[in-house]
Amino acid sequence: MSTPSFPPPGSTDIALSVRTHDRVGERRVDEDWLAKTWEEPSTRIMPVAGTSLPVNDDGDAIRWRSGGDLPTDGLRIFLGEREGVPHFTLVQPEPTDEGRWTSLRSVVHTLHEPDAGFAVHAVALAEWHAGHRFCPRCGGRLLPTMAGHALTCEQCTRQQFPRSDPAVIMMVTDGDRALLGRQESWPEGRYSTLAGFVDAGESLEEAVVREVAEETGVRVTDVTYFGNQPWPFPQSLMVGFFARATTTQISVDHNELSDARWFTRDEMRAQAEAGTLALPVGISISRSLVEAWYGGPLPGSW
C-alpha cells in the first residue's frame, strides 16, 4: 500500500502556536533594567492569581495594568516584548482588583492574540512556581531567579528550569475513515482524537504507536508530524501527528476510553450538524487535526 497523503506540517494554523512576543532572554539577568522598566508607565503587566487572570467583559482581551496600579509584593516575571513594549506578569495569591477575573481554561478559546500567547506564557510559569518550592536534590528552598524563568536552591545552588511534559495527539486514518474516542466522564456524543503522554526514553513516533494500541487495539504505521501546541493545564506540549491504521478492529481499554469509533467524512459532518457528535473546541490542536483531515471547517464544538 502506498504511503497516504497527509496534510503537510504548517499547512494549518494551530491556535496558541504563533509567535506573539520576543522573549528577550538576555534581559532576564539585567536586574537594573528590569526594576526600571517595571516602573515605566508604558510597561504592560498582567496580574495572575493561581490560574486566574483579569479579562474584559467579553473574555477576549486581558485587562493589562501598570506597575503603579499593582501591589509592591508578589513574584514579578518578565514575559518579553511586543513591538518594543515590555510585558510582565505579577503572581499574586488573590485578585488585585474588583473587575472580572476568570481561569485561563475558561477563556482560552475566546482570547485574541497576542493576549492569548502572553496568558499561556504567564499561567504556565505561575503554575510551575506554585508546584516547585523545594529542591529535588537536597530539599532546600528554591528562590526565583532570571526574572522568574529559573529557580535556584539556596542550599546547594542547583538551578531548576521550567519543564514541558510532551504528549502526543493523533488523527488515525483508514482510507476515508478517521478514528475518534471518548472518555466515560464526557457528555454524550463528545468525541476527540486519541492522545497520551510520552514515556521516559520513548520517541514521539513510538508513543503514537503505543498509545493507539493501548487505548483502542488498533495498530498504526506511517506516523507523520503535523504540528504542536503549548497547553498550560498545567504544563504540556501537545505534539500532533497523523497515522495510518494497519488493523481496524477496535477493542477499547475501558481505562482511558469508554468508546472509540470510525467515522467517514460524511458521517462526521452529518452527525456534527445534527448535534449528535460534539467535536473538540476550535482552540485545540485536536480540532486542527480533525479539520485538516476533513478538508475544511466542521460545525459544532464542545
pLDDT per position as a tens digit, 91-140: 999 999 999 999 999 999 899 999 999 999 999 999 999 999 999 999 99
Cα–Cα distance, 282 to 205 (Å, whole number): 25
In a domain, 142, yes or no: no
In a domain, 154, yes or no: no
C-alpha cell at 276: 449528535
**Tens digit of each residue's pLDDT (9 = 90 or more) over 146-193:** 999 999 999 999 999 999 999 999 999 999 999 999 999 999 999 999
274 Cβ contact list (under 8 Å, min separation 6): none
Angle, vertex CA 28, rays to CA 23 and CA 33, nearest 5: 110
Residues 230 and 170 in one domain: yes
In a domain, 3, yes or no: no
Residues 94 and 214 in one domain: no
**How many C-beta atoms surround the C-beta of residue 225 within 10 A?**
15
169 and 239 Cβ atoms separated by less than 8 Å:
yes
Percent of the chain clearing pLDDT 70 (strictly above): 98
CATH of the domain at 59: 3.90.79
pLDDT for the residue 254: 87
Query: Residue 243: which of 270, 272, 213, 264 has the closest Cα?
Result: 213
In a domain, 146, yes or no: no
Q: Read off the pLDDT band of 1 (50, 70, 90).
A: very low
Residues 62 and 169 in one domain: no
In a domain, 103, yes or no: yes
Average pLDDT, the chain: 94
In a domain, 136, yes or no: no
Residues 92 and 49 in one domain: yes
- Asked if residue 264 has pLDDT above 60, the reply is yes
Point out the domain boundary residue: 107, 131, 155. 131
SS3 258: coil
* Cis, peptide link before residue 280, omega less than 30° from 0: no
In a domain, 244, yes or no: yes
Q: Could you give the residue ranges of the DSSP H alpha helices within the chain?
A: 31-39, 104-107, 115-131, 204-216, 265-274, 285-294
The total domain count for the chain is: 2
Domain of 252?
165-294
